[in-house]
Amino acid sequence: MSSLQIGLIVAGVVLVAGVVAYNGWQERRYRRSLEGARSGDRISVATDSDQRVEPTLHAPGRIAEASTVSGDATAVFGGVDAADATSFEAPVDFIPPPPALAADESDAEDEGEGDARAAAHASTGAGAAALAMRQAPEVNAGNGGESSPDGEIECIIALQPVGPVTAGALAAGLHARLGKPLRWFGRSGPQGAWQRLASDTPGRHAEVVACMLLADRNGAASVAQIEAFSRVVGDIAPRLPAAFVPPDFNREAARAEALDRLCAALDVQIGLTVQRPEAGAIPGTRLRGVAEASGFHLAPAGRFEFASEDTGAILYSLQNLRPEPFSAESLRLTATHGVVFLLDVARVADPARVFDQMKMAAKRMATTLGGQLVDDNGRLLDDAALALIRDQVQAAADALKSVHIEPGSARALALFGA
């Protein structure tokens, strides 16, 4: 073996040892800082009712299933009164995130504690257990968005690579499937803008964060899912190489449960029924023609959907009164005695305005098909009853806004998606 080969081997060993040592030092430094934040740096918050902490995702103590309101004059928020759903109780403390996600400490001191974000308020049988996370402004995207992480509704794990990395180096994480949506973001430096990463995203990224949604309509993220998420990141980290701090699995699961209870309380759908009393009175071919003439299109999910001409977003849908999905074949061969116009309040911007549009479309279809506009008990809906339902829609939208979930926003679409 030549002296050159021996020298190259020695240099390689030294380089690998140096990287391992650096990673170990970085991880110990982050862990010491995190432990210090958990033990000695908690900031007490007064529970005086005048104090306002925002944004706050507050979970009421008793939550039922998501509600569909069909002409009922009483506003329903998953079995919880609207006033209860939006009441606020100050969290016990704010827990700073790992240093990889925190803003510069001197800047944080100058800005004060106004940047704190109470991410969830969990209720348990033994009493109220408050959980919150303070996020750096550049990490937390306010009311949520596609272009940056959202620490109030996502479990976030930061990676600090030794050197800038490409999106391709994260391929295993980008394609992971854990039962909850994952997003990866990168940026060139502390002052750079976050960029949503895909396998073909160009450029190199000095900072990377992995994000997993904590709750959607399928329920809260479980401890097992959060552990699996951490393992995915942990498997990628040494390949970069990069330092990272795993999340507290139980704490993140508690945040997920609180967020899920909150969303169940505020999950409101409004239905208006058009029907004819005699069974099979509306031929499927006739229904399809009227629906498509009104701007609906038949979707693979088995319902007609009405989309915004400007954005393409689904505003409301039209589905079979019977528990059977529509299809081109079924509409050709069968008939129905009614259809339901359905508005998903959380998933549309300006829900009250969209309700007005849906109400007019339902009235027109009832006239065209020779049917009646009724509630789910078959009672006729006059203008006074429809005005009460509109008030319910507005109350539901206001309740969402009060906990910083803007109807129709990226945050709302994530939380109220399947």
**pLDDT per position as a tens digit, 328-346:** 999 999 999 999 999 999 9
Can you give the pLDDT at residue 37? 37
Fold matches, 91-265 and 268-402: yes
**Could you tell me the pLDDT band of residue 179, with boundaries at 50, 70 and 90?**
very high
**pLDDT per position as a tens digit, 5-15:** 565 465 555 55
pLDDT higher at 4 or 389: 389
Cβ atoms of residues 411 and 309 within 8 Å: no
Residue 83 has pLDDT above 70, yes or no: no
Reduce the DSSP state of residue 312 to 3 states and report it. Answer: coil
Distance CA 356, CA 335 (A): 28
**Could you tell me the pLDDT band of residue 70, with boundaries at 50, 70 and 90?**
very low
Residue 280 has pLDDT above 80, yes or no: no
Can you give the pLDDT at residue 141? 39
**pLDDT per position as a tens digit, 368-386:** 999 999 988 889 999 999 9
How many degrees, rounded to 5, is the angle at CA 173 between CA 251 and CA 260?
35
Beta bridge partners of 372: 275
Residue 294: CB partners within 8 Å, gap ≥ 6?
Answer: 306, 361, 364, 365
Residue 230 has pLDDT above 50, yes or no: yes
Distance CA 149, CA 213 (A): 10
Cβ atoms of residues 131 and 152 within 8 Å: no
**pLDDT per position as a tens digit, 146-167:** 789 999 999 999 999 999 999 9
Can you give the pLDDT at residue 123? 31
Claim: this prediction has a pTM higher than 0.85: no
Residue 94 has pLDDT above 70, yes or no: no
- Show me where the domains of the chain are located: 91-265, 268-402
Residue 222 has pLDDT above 70, yes or no: yes
Arithmetic mean of pLDDT, 307-329: 95
Write down the CATH number for the domain with range 268-402: 3.30.1400.10
**pLDDT per position as a tens digit, 105-147:** 344 344 433 333 333 333 322 222 223 332 333 344 333 467 8
SS3 content of the chain, % helix, strand, coil (to 5): 40, 25, 40
Can you give the pLDDT at residue 418? 79
Mean pLDDT for the chain overall: 76
Cβ atoms of residues 246 and 234 within 8 Å: yes
**pLDDT per position as a tens digit, 232-247:** 999 999 999 999 999 9
**Could you tell me the pLDDT band of residue 306, with boundaries at 50, 70 and 90?**
very high
pLDDT higher at 372 or 45: 372
Distance CA 242, CA 205 (A): 12
Arithmetic mean of pLDDT, 175-186: 96
Can you give the pLDDT at residue 146? 77
Residue 40 CB coordination number (10 Å): 7
The four Cα atoms 128, 404, 173, 136 give a dihedral, to 10 degrees, of -90
Arithmetic mean of pLDDT, 36-65: 33
**Could you tell me the pLDDT band of residue 181, with boundaries at 50, 70 and 90?**
very high
Report the CATH fold assignment for 91-265: Cell Division Protein Zipa; Chain: A, (3.30.1400)
pLDDT higher at 233 or 61: 233
Residue 279 has pLDDT above 70, yes or no: no
Can you give the pLDDT at residue 23? 57
pLDDT higher at 56 or 16: 16
**pLDDT per position as a tens digit, 241-264:** 999 999 999 999 999 999 999 999
Residue 219 has pLDDT above 80, yes or no: yes
Distance CA 263, CA 299 (A): 26
